[in-house]
């Protein structure tokens, strides 16, 4: 710290500006791909460099007029430039160390954990699918439906046909047809009944 203060107190501004320029150029090259570190460098330069050194200069120099305050402000600007370049270099090194030692391993561990979770989910789905397939294979085959004897089926069909024939005859008798129309309708109904009986008994 004493070395930095002696450099800032150097009355030769050219050498001081050259040193600050070299620090800022090197630091800028090191953080060119890290906008977040650049922002932090500006913050440190403003807070620590300008305001911090300005308060320090006011406390030490105890200026009493405008010229003395202007001299302290100029030196505070030099301090801000010094802090800006130095903070970029230091933050770049710390960022690289953090990325190498902490950030990258954490990301790799997170990716590995997500991969394990995905594999476990797939394995669980495969297990459930295999269980369902096993249940389907082990499910007992239902017995075939009971076969109704042929004679019983014929008798049921004949009873249904007779019931429909009788219901149709009752409907025709109550339809208000004359004798000739009623006779033709009943004849057609009987033929329909006979054809159905013949079909059921021959199947």
Q: What is the pLDDT of residues 10-35, one digit of tens each?
A: 555 666 777 778 888 888 888 888 88
Please write the tens of the pLDDT for every residue from 86-143: 888 888 888 888 888 887 888 888 888 888 888 888 888 888 888 888 888 887 777 7
pLDDT of residue 132: 85
pLDDT of residue 73: 77
State how far the alpha carbon of 90 is from the alpha carbons of 4, 19, 38, 82, 126, in Å. Answer: 15, 16, 11, 12, 52
Distance CA 181, CA 52 (A): 123
Identify whether the C-beta of residue 165 lies closer than 8 Å to the C-beta of residue 193: yes
Please write the tens of the pLDDT for every residue from 136-178: 888 777 776 667 777 777 777 778 878 887 888 888 777 777 7
């Amino acid at each position: 710290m004493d070395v930095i203060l002696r450099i800032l107190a150097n009355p030769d501004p050219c050498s001081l500006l050259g040193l600050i320029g070299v620090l800022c150029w090197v630091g800028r090259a090191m953080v060119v791909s890290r906008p977040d570190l650049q922002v932090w460098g500006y913050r440190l330069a403003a807070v620590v460099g300008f305001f911090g050194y300005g308060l320090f200069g006011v406390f030490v120099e105890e200026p009493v007029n405008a010229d003395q305050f202007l001299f302290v402000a100029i030196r505070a600007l030099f301090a801000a430039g010094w802090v800006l370049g130095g903070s970029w270099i230091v933050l770049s090194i710390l960022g690289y160390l953090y990325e190498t030692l902490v950030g990258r391993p954490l990301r790799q561990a997170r990716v590995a954990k997500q991969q394990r979770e995905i594999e476990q989910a797939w394995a669980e789905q495969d297990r459930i699918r295999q269980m369902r397939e096993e249940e389907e294979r082990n499910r007992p085959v239902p017995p075939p439906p009971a076969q109704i004897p042929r004679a019983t089926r014929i008798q049921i069909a004949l009873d249904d046909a007779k019931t429909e024939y009788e219901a149709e005859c009752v409907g025709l008798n109550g339809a208000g047809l004359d004798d000739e129309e009623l006779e033709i309708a009943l004849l057609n109904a009987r033929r329909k009944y006979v054809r159905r009986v013949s079909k059921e008994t021959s199947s």
